[in-house]
Amino acid sequence: MRLYDISQLPMLEGDILVGFIDKWDLLSHVEGDSRHLSLPVKEAMTRNVGRLDKRTPESALKPLFYRGQVAVIVDRQKFPCLVTRSDVLTRHALETAIAELEGGTRGYAFASGLTASATVLELLDKDSHIIAVDDVYGGTYRLVDNVRRHSAGHRVSWINPDNLLALEAAIRPDTRMIWVETPTNPLLKLADLAAIADIAHRHKLISVADNTFASPAIQRPIPLGFDIVVHSATKYLNGHSDVVAGLAVVGNRPELADKSGYLQNAVGGVESLVSQPFSMTHASIPLEQRLAGSITPQLIRLSVSIEDPQDLINDLRQTLTD
Ligand SMILES: Cc1ncc(COP(=O)(O)O)c(C=O)c1O
């Protein structure tokens, strides 16, 4: 397999590779003897240039594939994959891997966790009602309650995941989605995924689980009945604090999978972390709601990871005594 970069845009005649153009949009190399492209290829490249004949200068030609795209050519003349925003081999590999890990049918990669969440929310029609657990990542809260409330007329009921009766009672005729984060950020509330998936099925609602904090190593919502899993892959899935990324996986719902693929085109580290959700991740939630949800200035979140425990204890002791 050869991977051609943007300075070697391939030209095709049918599915035969006939040459490349360089980064100046000029024909720079032709496979075989001729230094000229055949007329049909020239025509395909010059849709807006007007009448063509064999003397049309190469400088008048437009590329069939534009810069920023990369072609992967397997065995010289076959052209199986044009690498573009929606067709990238490495991204496909990542998407296949996360779909497998989560037990879903299709995976989708995004530029951030919040982009994955935003895209999944796009599955809803305007004016839909959402039931969401009452302790979610602040960005998810902002997205649903601030942004989509205004841009899409979405309404949300925030429900304690412990209270399944309240959750089911909150379902209205316009409810379309149940959004669960488990464990939640920052209070680590847990949800009974199988029971919530059952409620969603009975009421024909789309069920979504933000599985960022558990990761598929610990919990797999799709085999428990959920339709969609989202991830901030920025966190544990990446594990090195050097990537911002999001992932979504769709279970056995082909119509949701197709729609997600369409929408995708429109798209933690393992070190321990100390944060104060009140002033950081959840600062944009109204004060009253933060306090009612126990997100007080005194709440300090310790995300303890894999460092030596004694080092962590020493660090904490030093911080608290300084
Ligand atoms: C549970 C959860 N979901 C989603 C996100 C958003 O992910 P990203 O920062 O990759 O956009 C975060 C970010 O902290 C999160 O904690």
CA of 133 to the centre of ligand 1 (A): 15
Nearest-angstrom CA–CA distance, 69 and 124: 31
Structure confidence at residue 319 (pLDDT): 86
Structure confidence at residue 86 (pLDDT): 58
Nearest-angstrom CA–CA distance, 303 and 268: 10
**309 φ, ψ to 5°?**
-55, -40
Q: Which residue's CA is minimally distant from atom 10 of ligand 1?
A: 113
DSSP codes, 232-272: ETTTTTT-SS----EEEEE-S-HHHHHHHHHHHT----SS-
Structure confidence at residue 252 (pLDDT): 94
Query: Which mean pLDDT values do the consecutive 10-residue runs of the chain (322 residues) have?
Result: 41 50 39 40 45 51 44 40 56 90 96 95 97 95 94 96 96 98 92 98 98 96 98 91 93 95 72 86 90 93 87 91 85
Q: Which residue's CA is minimally distant from atom 8 of ligand 1?
A: 113
For each of the domains in the chain, give its residue range(s) and CATH number, in order of start.
2-83 (no CATH), 89-264 (3.40.640.10), 273-321 (3.90.1150.10)
Q: Which residue's CA is minimally distant from atom 16 of ligand 1?
A: 137
Contact 124, 152 (CB under 8 A): yes
Cβ < 6 Å from ligand 1: which residues? 112-114, 137, 139-140, 181, 185, 210, 212-213, 232, 234, 244, 246
Structure confidence at residue 119 (pLDDT): 95
Structure confidence at residue 11 (pLDDT): 53
Instruction: Report how many helices (DSSP H) and strands (DSSP E) the chain contains, helices first.
Output: 10, 15
CA of 311 to the centre of ligand 1 (A): 27
Structure confidence at residue 322 (pLDDT): 80
Contact 145, 135 (CB under 8 A): no
CA of 152 to the centre of ligand 1 (A): 22
Nearest-angstrom CA–CA distance, 284 and 135: 13
CA of 117 to the centre of ligand 1 (A): 9
Does the reported pTM lie above 0.75? no
CA of 83 to the centre of ligand 1 (A): 28
Single-letter amino acid code for the residue at 256: L
